């Protein structure tokens, strides 16, 4: 019988204040990024000092949150924003776009590079390997919140997400119907966990290994873009697109794939440029 998703998205209720697991994932992501960045400063050849880490993480988090919310609004939920403009500030409820967050981080790091008088790709290459852990935590937050579920599946690990059902049912009602052999066709891929594994584990190992030794400037950034883009394009095939967008074409093309393809192409360009120039500064 498929697992029925029944996780309370609220980690702690303090009177009128609800602390969501999704928000805690962002806090954990910030701490992991801070620790990993400090670890990377131990290698003098990287050219970064521990005293800079606080500023780098601060700029990066601001860029990720602002860009993520704006990206989600512009790419996926513009109509909902028009109906409830205040919703853009409720970050703890979810609704973040990776592509928007990435643009926000790039802009914020560009600003920091100008302020610190550093080459912008020196910053990008430095932070790229510390990002995946935060991405994985964010996907776990999506899973806990029961959002961004996958497409329907007949595999044994398929799950029932109550919010994805065509009619509102309690968890007990769902389990009762499953016991009768009903709702089996509503099982879905836990695509949030697939993405958490790819983005938070595979990409972290790949980028940490690749950046262990000096690489040509832009190379690490290129690998990051390619790894994320390829993984996202592939995993979108088992992820349910946003209901108000659906598939954009051919019964499988999604907005996530459209936004990820340029990442892959740009990543390839960066790698080619990096190894032609071979400026070992990463």
**26-36, pLDDT tens digit by residue?**
899 999 999 99
Asked whether the predicted pLDDT for residue 77 surpasses 80, the reply is no
State the first-to-last Cα distance of the chain, in angstroms, to the nearest integer.
50
Asked whether the predicted pLDDT for residue 91 surpasses 70, the reply is no
Average confidence (pLDDT) over 136-164: 92
Q: Mean pLDDT for the chain? A: 87
Asked whether the predicted pLDDT for residue 92 surpasses 60, the reply is no
More confident residue, 272 or 89: 272
**pLDDT band with cut points at 50, 70 and 90 for residue 165:** very high
**pLDDT band with cut points at 50, 70 and 90 for residue 67:** confident
Q: What is the pLDDT of residue 282?
A: 46
**pLDDT band with cut points at 50, 70 and 90 for residue 242:** confident
What global pTM score does this model have?
0.86
Identify the weakest region by mean pLDDT among 9-18, 69-78, 167-176, 208-217. 69-78
Q: What is the DSSP string of 107-131?
A: HHHHHHHHHHT--HHHHHHHHGGGH
What's the burial of 125, exposed, middle or buried (CB within 10 Å: 0-12/13-18/19+)?
Answer: buried
Average confidence (pLDDT) over 142-156: 91
Average confidence (pLDDT) over 39-45: 91
Token pair 């880490």 is found at: 53
Read off the tokens for 105.
Answer: 């981080």
């Amino acid at each position: 019988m498929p697992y029925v998703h029944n996780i309370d998205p609220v980690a702690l209720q303090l009177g009128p204040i609800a602390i969501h697991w999704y928000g805690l994932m962002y806090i954990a992501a910030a701490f992991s990024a801070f620790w990993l960045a400090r670890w990377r400063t131990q290698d003098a050849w990287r050219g970064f000092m521990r005293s800079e880490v606080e500023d780098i993480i601060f700029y990066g988090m601001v860029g990720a949150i602002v860009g993520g919310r704006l990206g989600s609004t512009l790419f996926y939920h513009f109509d909902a924003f028009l109906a409830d403009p205040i919703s853009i500030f409720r970050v703890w409820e979810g609704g973040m776009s990776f592509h928007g967050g990435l643009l926000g981080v790039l802009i914020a790091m560009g600003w920091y590079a100008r302020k610190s008088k550093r080459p912008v790709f020196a910053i990008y290459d430095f932070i790229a390997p510390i990002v995946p852990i935060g991405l994985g935590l964010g996907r776990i937050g999506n899973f806990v919140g029961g959002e961004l579920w996958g497409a329907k599946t007949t595999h044994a690990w398929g799950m029932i997400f109550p919010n994805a059902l065509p009619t509102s049912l309690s968890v007990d009602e769902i389990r009762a119907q499953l016991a009768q052999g009903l709702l089996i066709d509503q099982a879905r891929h836990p695509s949030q966990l697939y993405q958490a594994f790819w983005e938070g584990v595979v990409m972290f190992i790949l980028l940490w290994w690749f950046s262990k030794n000096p690489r040509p400037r832009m190379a690490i950034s290129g690998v990051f873009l390619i790894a994320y883009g390829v993984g996202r394009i592939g995993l979108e095939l088992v992820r349910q697109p946003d209901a108000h967008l659906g598939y954009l074409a051919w019964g499988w093309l999604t907005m996530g794939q459209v936004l990820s393809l340029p990442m892959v192409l740009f990543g390839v360009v960066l790698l080619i440029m990096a190894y032609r120039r071979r400026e070992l500064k990463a």
